[in-house]
Structure 1
Amino acid sequence: MHRRYLAPGALAAATVLLAIPASAASSTTGAPGIGDPYYPAYGNGGYDVGHYDLRLKYQPKTDLLEGTATLLARTTQDLSRFNLDFLLDVSEVRVNGAKASFATSGEHELEITPKHPLAKGSDITVVVRYSGVPSSKSAYGFTGWHRTQDGGVAANEPEAAWWWFPSNDHPLDKATYDVSVQVPTGTQAISNGTLQSTSSRLGWTRYNWRSNKPQATYLATLAVGRFDITTSTTESGIPVINAYSKELGDNYNAARASIERSGEITDWLSEYFGPYPFNSVGGYVPNTSTRYALETQTRPFYSPARFSSGTNTSVVVHELAHQWYGDLVSVAGWKDIWINEGFARYSEWLWSEHEGEGTTQEIADYVYASHPADDPFWTVRPGDPGPDNQFHLAVYDRGALALQALRNEIGDEDFFAILKGWTAKYAHGNATVADFRTYAERVSARSLGQFFDTWLYEPSKPAAPEARAASIARKASAPVPPKSWKKLVATADVHQH
């Protein structure tokens, strides 16, 4: 949702640092990046977080956030120093109960030096006390914190955590979460998972949320404001928690009419992707001025603008499909974004077919015909689009087109077996586009190397013979747009600022 620009020298230096063999680098200093070539400074090396316990206090009037974060982690190398990704002002750090020294560096690095070196394979506890005004902080020229009239919201991709809790901010390091937030009574705090309890005292109310399955840091969310909250359960018994800002105005009813169908849509998606994998589902709509939506785990974030033209179940389908493709199975690196977005987009096509508004084949034919060969759309490679094009329309529409082509290539039985089996094989873990190709080849008993090159990696429009071979663009005349096309277009910029 953001395009990050690093100075060429800084990028080169970071790339060189990541390329240094372990034997040649310091064996006791954790790397300041986890090794993602798209975002070299994101995440950190030397440890793996298993759990975040966040105890927060937030004042909506001033946007002041105070917090104590407790991280339970395990070292993956000997460590004399390690980094966390964070922007707010730190007052104290403790490692295994002892005070640690700390400093800041770069755009978002908190460098921690424990009192005693940490041995590889050690279970460690890191406590960080901090405070600050999130909306006053920026990195790389932007902020991931959204100030609202009645509070604030943390929801962004590929980063959001820096503005509200210290973390190892990359999808490779998933963890469980307890988020406890104290806010003025009359204001609500929304986060991931299930609400464990609330308590009020002296004009303040504390909300205790728990997300009990591994969760990437960018999928953790916090929203404070004045909300109308609805609760229910799906037919399959999953708790549904939705929240709508009281300040949505004319968008309120359309938002609610869309998101209240989350339970129905979740059960429908389960037929394709397997059992819903988390402890609750739902969505929330704060009164932000942003336009995008985001698949924050169990509780997607939706901008009010998504409903400015009326109900929009396609965007709900998109973000809920991400609960499997993106959240349950997460990218190993940001270049693998097709695993998230191509599948979520294709889910919208399946929903169109379900609603009788155009089949997946009709939509695929129309997408193929709508972009002539010289359209820059075809120069973006969904299998590795580059950081500047990570959320380009081609990753979504060309990415979904590739899935329809795959379905036609291998047949419905194998295709739908892959959709469901993939999420089971890599559940709560990470995977690459190459992993998906290998899995598809195993299930279908076919060699698909050339197929994936054509549809995901070649920076050109698949030629007519290849398209017809995959049952795309079989008609000589231009296809008529399916009935759902306007709705699909309305979600085309779902993750764009």
Structure 2
Amino acid sequence: MKNLVLFLSLILFQCVIAQDMPTFTRKDSLFGGLPPERTSYDVLHYDLNIKVEPDRKFISGYNEIIFKTVANTQKIQIDLFKNMKVDSIVWSKQKLMFSREFNAVFVEFPSVLKEKSEQKLRFYFSGNPLIAKRAPWDGGFVYKTDSNGKPWIGVAVQGTGASLWYPVKDSQSDEPDNGATINVAVPTGLMNVSNGRFKGSEDLKNGYTRWDWEVKNPINTYDITLNIGDYVHFWENYKGLDLDYYVLRENESKAKTQFGQVKPMMDCYQSKFGPTLFLKTDLSW
């Protein structure tokens, strides 16, 4: 009798475990797996150039991907959500053939790329990225307005994946070794704040201004971001470190009071952990 009870308990336990086990799909495997189309190349740099149209909630542009092959390959996988359009993919002045399966884009080269060769392609795309329903708990763009009715836009994709809004090798196993440039054109009168160092802005004479940013170190693809709004910038140098702050215009006076805490906070950290803590860190707020 005791053995029968134990046997039935084991069956019940296995049934409960089976009910809780997730079902993995082909879509999951394409997103999380490491097939040869992903492992055959190593990303060196992303050069993201896009235009954001707040009224249409629309983005367009390209991501130039510099990569090194680590094995001979004629096909690679780049990820972009299926609701986003692939306009064209250009390599060595040629438009490449491609196919799509769920959110994976398989790019075909006209001949085999030899191992240890450096390559560059431009992936042109456009569309309306998903809008987050409850950021940051779900992924997507966040469209708000400030108290003056001006657009205030951000994006949250850590859980969902960077390919939600731009073409990328969307695997945490590969960060761009040499960082990324993020160039974002927004309606003139607004500002875009992205990762790294601000490199400058240019009035495009078409109602849009492009804001250029650069990251020189490896960066997670989901960390590449944009922040669009009616921001104001103020700056100071403290013990050799640049401190840059970007805040909504309506909050400028409050922010200057709030960020008065930064310098004593840094002194505290450096007294505990040493002066090298912030040596290579860009602090943009």
State TM-score, norm by structure 1: 0.45
Q: What is the aligned partner in structure 2 of residue 462 from structure 1?
A: none
Q: What is the aligned partner in structure 1 of residue 87 from structure 2?
A: 91
What aligned pairs does 1:58-69 form with structure 2 within 5 A after superposition? 58-69=52-63
The one-letter amino acid paired with 1:170 is S
Of residues 181, 184, 188, the one that matches 1:181 is: 184
Distance 1:264 1:53, change over 3 A: farther
List per-residue Cα deviations over 1:130-165 (Å, max 9, x = no partner): 111123599xx9433222221421233245522332
List per-residue Cα deviations over 1:391-438 (Å, max 9, x = no partner): xxxxxxxxxxxxxxxxxxxxxxxxxxxxxxxxxxxxxxxxxxxxxxxx
Secondary structure of 1:206's aligned partner: strand
Q: What is the aligned partner in structure 2 of residue 113 from structure 1?
A: 108
Contact preservation (8 Å) 2:139, 2:159: no
1:75 aligns with 2:94: no
The one-letter amino acid paired with 2:244 is I
Distance 1:265 1:190, change over 3 A: same
Of residues 274, 281, 284, the one that matches 1:282 is: 284
Distance 1:211 1:264, change over 3 A: farther
Residues in 1 aligned to 2:230 and 2:105: alpha-carbon distance in whole angstroms = 33
Q: What is the aligned partner in structure 1 of residue 15 from structure 2?
A: none
Distance 1:272 1:95, change over 3 A: same
Residues in 2 aligned to 1:12 and 1:101: alpha-carbon distance in whole angstroms = 21
Residues in 1 aligned to 2:155 and 2:184: alpha-carbon distance in whole angstroms = 13
Q: How many residues align?
A: 250
List per-residue Cα deviations over 1:264-311 (Å, max 9, x = no partner): 53454345273325352122xxxxxxxxxxxxxxxxxxxxxxxxxxxx
Q: What is the aligned partner in structure 1 of residue 11 from structure 2?
A: none
Secondary structure of 2:202's aligned partner: strand
Secondary structure of 2:273's aligned partner: helix
Residues in 1 aligned to 2:58 and 2:131: alpha-carbon distance in whole angstroms = 10
Is the deviation greater in 184-193 or in 217-226? Answer: 217-226
Of residues 204, 208, 211, the one that matches 1:204 is: 208
List per-residue Cα deviations over 1:156-180 (Å, max 9, x = no partner): 3245522332112233322211111
Residues in 2 aligned to 1:256 and 1:162: alpha-carbon distance in whole angstroms = 36
Secondary structure of 2:86's aligned partner: strand
Contact preservation (8 Å) 2:131, 2:141: no
> Aligned-residue CA RMSD in angstroms?
3.3
Residues in 2 aligned to 1:142 and 1:54: alpha-carbon distance in whole angstroms = 23
Of residues 9, 18, 23, the one that matches 1:8 is: 23
Q: What is the aligned partner in structure 2 of residue 410 from structure 1?
A: none
Of residues 119, 122, 133, the one that matches 1:124 is: 119
The one-letter amino acid paired with 2:184 is V
What aligned pairs does 1:209-228 form with structure 2 within 5 A after superposition? 209-228=213-232
Contact preservation (8 Å) 1:63, 1:135: no
What aligned pairs does 1:145-184 form with structure 2 within 5 A after superposition? 145-149=141-145, 150-175=151-176, 176-184=179-187
Secondary structure of 1:214's aligned partner: coil
Contact preservation (8 Å) 1:262, 1:282: no
Contact preservation (8 Å) 2:138, 2:159: no
List per-residue Cα deviations over 1:304-328 (Å, max 9, x = no partner): xxxxxxxxxxxxxxxxxxxxxxxxx
Q: What is the aligned partner in structure 2 of residue 192 from structure 1?
A: 195
Deviation at 1:96, TM superposition (A): 3.6
Deviation at 1:129, TM superposition (A): 0.7
Residues in 2 aligned to 1:12 and 1:173: alpha-carbon distance in whole angstroms = 19
The one-letter amino acid paired with 2:209 is T
Contact preservation (8 Å) 1:33, 1:45: no
Residues in 2 aligned to 1:247 and 1:105: alpha-carbon distance in whole angstroms = 45
Contact preservation (8 Å) 2:31, 2:171: no
Residues in 2 aligned to 1:9 and 1:280: alpha-carbon distance in whole angstroms = 40
Secondary structure of 1:265's aligned partner: helix
Structure 1: gaps (5+ residues): 15-30, 36-40, 284-497
Percent sequence identity over aligned pairs: 20
Q: What is the aligned partner in structure 1 of residue 237 from structure 2?
A: 233
Of residues 243, 246, 251, the one that matches 2:246 is: 243
Distance 1:111 1:263, change over 3 A: farther
Greater RCO structure (CA 8 Å; 6+ sep): 2
Secondary structure of 2:126's aligned partner: strand
Q: Point out the structure with the larger helix share.
A: 1
Secondary structure of 2:73's aligned partner: coil
Residues in 1 aligned to 2:95 and 2:31: alpha-carbon distance in whole angstroms = 21
Q: What is the aligned partner in structure 2 of residue 354 from structure 1?
A: none
List per-residue Cα deviations over 1:467-497 (Å, max 9, x = no partner): xxxxxxxxxxxxxxxxxxxxxxxxxxxxxxx
Contact preservation (8 Å) 1:178, 1:210: yes
Contact preservation (8 Å) 1:69, 1:166: yes
Q: What is the aligned partner in structure 2 of residue 104 from structure 1?
A: 100
Deviation at 1:259, TM superposition (A): 4.5
Deviation at 1:34, TM superposition (A): 5.1
Q: What is the aligned partner in structure 1 of residue 17 from structure 2?
A: none
Of residues 26, 39, 48, the one that matches 1:45 is: 39
State TM-score, norm by structure 2: 0.75
Contact preservation (8 Å) 1:186, 1:226: yes
Structure 2: gaps (5+ residues): 1-19, 146-150
Deviation at 1:8, TM superposition (A): 0.7
Secondary structure of 1:269's aligned partner: helix
Q: What is the aligned partner in structure 1 of residue 8 from structure 2?
A: none
Is the deviation greater in 237-246 or in 84-93? Answer: 237-246
